[in-house]
Amino acid sequence: MRSDEAIPEGPPMLDGRRVFRIHWVLGTDRLRAVCHCGSERVFEDPIELWEWLLGHPADHDGGGAEGTPAAAPREPALVSAGDREESAEMVTEPHTEHELDLVVEKKESMAEGVVQLTLRSPDGAELPAWEPGAHIDLVLDDELTRQYSLCGDPAERSVLQIAVLREPDGRGGSAHVHDLLHVGDTVRVRGPRNHFPLRPASRYVFIAGGIGITPILPMIEQVEAAGAEWTLAYGGRTRGSMAFRDRLQRAYPSKVVIHPADETGLLDLAEILADPGASAEDALVYCCGPEPLLLAVEAQCAAAWPHGALNIERFAPRAGATDGPREAFEVELTRSGLTLPVPAERSVLEVVEEAGVQVLTSCQEGTCGTCETAVLDGVPDHRDSVLTDDEQAANDTMMICVSRSCSARLVLDL
Ligand code: FES
């Protein structure tokens, strides 16, 4: 299929939701479809894409889950022909997110300083569907909302599971979970949402550091079930600090290599990443862990791996991401009909909220993706740690909690 051929008209709405973005994979004849949940697929055959569009939302529409869908940023339905200038019709649809009060059914110690929470609806209702890589917000109190990757089985719709590392130097979220959240307590949950989706490939190199193993667990189960080739290099301070280590080693002894730093030192990334694939569809790298590991993996992949092969998830801002000069600029909010000045010392989020425009937010540090907002005109100054380099370069969305503007005015879909 070529870029000048017609793309069949997409399903306008399915159960109130839609697959909201379809675009060409640059330099190829493939199409990438990205669903409202953040999961995505790459297709060579438009008929297969069409079938996925029809079937995908019904598979994970969150139907049956109790809770109050909260207003969230509206996402652009974008059909583009390879670059920003050729973007076609911009269609917007409401994007909703579940907000649930769940009960802590189990709280289990999984390793030194790591507890796993199993969360269930008080009435046993089915919970929202999710895919590997997804995370949820735990709303711990009015001032404390934290993001945790889902580490259970996506097919098990009655519970959500997360694992939380106590961080002595953290900002209070993990201490709250460890010390104040008990079995039988109710906790508010938002999401799931997914900015770390598992993309199709024939081979995967998984690299996890410490509690960064959590989003990798369901990915491994999925690629194993799909018959793809994969390996996991799992590093930690000590064996005793590495959650799910026994389970992984027992289930996949030939594919999982454990690297306790006190025994074997740091992960040997040059060896782990010695075999780059021929393309990003041939082999992908997925990495989650502490910032020094992420930076080292980024450097290694930049030197030797195909562009787009590396997939990373951060739960803290990339070093220096929010630095840089802060200039004043203006935002035009097309839905609200407002034009507002953004002073140098304030964020877009602060300004629009003060003007009474509701935006869903969570981390407010550019890592969770909750405040992602479509950019209709102007050039954002991206300072988030969520979007990939390509997504930032596209300039069609921005995280308004931290990102600013390179142009005198930004036009936002708010
Ligand atoms: S609120 Fe988390 S990225 Fe903006």
Q: Per residue in 340-384, pLDDT tens?
A: 999 999 999 999 999 999 898 888 999 998 899 999 999 999 999
What the block records as the tokens of 9 is: 């008209």
pLDDT in tens, 209-249: 999 999 999 999 999 999 999 999 999 999 999 999 999 99
Which CATH architecture group holds 203-313?
3-Layer(aba) Sandwich (3.40)
CA–CA distances in Å: residue 80 to residues 21, 203, 281, 367, 396? 9, 28, 21, 26, 11
Any ligand 1 atom below 6 A from CB of 317? no
Instruction: Identify the H or E element spanning 405.
Output: strand 404-405
Instruction: Compute the distance between CA of residue 367 and CA of residue 318 in angstroms, rounded to an integer.
Output: 9
**Higher pLDDT pick, 67 / 59:** 59
Any ligand 1 atom below 6 A from CB of 361? yes
Pocket test residue of 347, 373, 401 for ligand 1, highest count of atoms within 8 A of CB:
401
Distance 166 CA to ligand 1 centre (A): 22
Mean pLDDT throughout 317-332? 91
Any ligand 1 atom below 6 A from CB of 232? no
CA–CA distances in Å: residue 34 to residues 19, 31, 163, 351, 387? 6, 10, 27, 30, 14
pLDDT tier for residue 34 given thresholds of 50, 70 and 90? low
What the block records as the tokens of 207 is: 């690299």
Any ligand 1 atom below 6 A from CB of 399? yes
Q: Which residues partner with 349 through β-bridges?
A: none
**Higher pLDDT pick, 292 / 11:** 292
Is pLDDT at 117 greater than 80 in this prediction? yes
* pTM, to two decimals: 0.75
Any ligand 1 atom below 6 A from CB of 370? yes
The structural domains of the chain, with segments of one domain joined by +, span 20-89, 99-193, 203-313, 329-412
Instruction: Compute the distance between CA of residue 151 and CA of residue 216 in angstroms, rounded to an integer.
Output: 8
What the block records as the tokens of 221 is: 């189960």
The secondary structure of residue 241, as a DSSP letter, is G
Distance 370 CA to ligand 1 centre (A): 5
Residue 236 CB-half CA count within 13 A = 22
Q: Which residues partner with 323 through β-bridges?
A: none
Pocket test residue of 364, 385, 392, 412 for ligand 1, highest count of atoms within 8 A of CB:
364
Distance 365 CA to ligand 1 centre (A): 6
CA–CA distances in Å: residue 184 to residues 148, 153, 230? 20, 22, 38
* Residue 87 CB neighbours (<10 A): 16
Distance 275 CA to ligand 1 centre (A): 35
Distance 3 CA to ligand 1 centre (A): 34
What the block records as the tokens of 67 is: 């809770």
Strands 203-209 vs 380-381: parallel, antiparallel or unpaired: unpaired
Distance 16 CA to ligand 1 centre (A): 25
Handedness of CA 247, 180, 118, 19 (dihedral sign): negative
Pocket test residue of 360, 365, 398 for ligand 1, highest count of atoms within 8 A of CB:
365
- So what's the pLDDT on residue 41? 60
Evaluate whether 403 touches 383 at the Cβ level (below 8 Å): yes
Q: Which residues partner with 332 through β-bridges?
A: 339, 411
Nearest to 60 by CA among 194, 204, 245: 194
For the chain, how big is the Rg over CA atoms in Å?
21
Instruction: Compute the distance between CA of residue 6 and CA of residue 136 in angstroms, rounded to an integer.
Output: 37
Is pLDDT at 104 greater than 80 in this prediction? yes
- Determine the topology of domain 99-193 in CATH: Elongation Factor Tu (Ef-tu); domain 3 (2.40.30)
CATH of 329-412, picked from 3.40.50.300, 3.10.20.30, 3.40.50.10300, 3.40.50.150, is 3.10.20.30
Is pLDDT at 289 greater than 80 in this prediction? yes
Any ligand 1 atom below 6 A from CB of 363? yes
Distance 193 CA to ligand 1 centre (A): 12
pLDDT in tens, 122-177: 999 999 999 999 999 999 988 899 999 999 999 999 999 999 999 988 888 999 99
In 3-state terms, what secondary structure has residue 252? coil
Question: Which residues are within 8 A (CB) of 106 and not within 5 positions of it... i.e. 6 or more apart?
Answer: 116, 117, 118, 183
Q: Across 8-89, where does the E strand assignment appear?
A: 21-24, 31-34, 40-43, 70-79
Instruction: Identify the H or E element spanning 215.
Output: helix 213-226
Question: Which residues are within 8 A (CB) of 405 and not within 5 positions of it... i.e. 6 or more apart?
Answer: 327, 329, 331, 342, 378, 379, 380, 381
Any ligand 1 atom below 6 A from CB of 369? yes
Percent of the chain past pLDDT 70, that is, above it, reads 77
Distance 335 CA to ligand 1 centre (A): 20
Instruction: Compute the distance between CA of residue 71 and CA of residue 335 in angstroms, rounded to an integer.
Output: 14
Evaluate whether 158 touches 124 at the Cβ level (below 8 Å): yes
Instruction: Compute the distance between CA of residue 206 and CA of residue 213 in angstroms, rounded to an integer.
Output: 9
Strands 31-34 vs 40-43: parallel, antiparallel or unpaired: antiparallel
Distance 338 CA to ligand 1 centre (A): 22
In 3-state terms, what secondary structure has residue 324? coil
Any ligand 1 atom below 6 A from CB of 72? no
Instruction: Compute the distance between CA of residue 218 and CA of residue 323 in angstroms, rounded to an integer.
Output: 34
Instruction: Compute the distance between CA of residue 137 and CA of residue 189 in angstroms, rounded to an integer.
Output: 6
pLDDT in tens, 216-227: 999 999 999 999
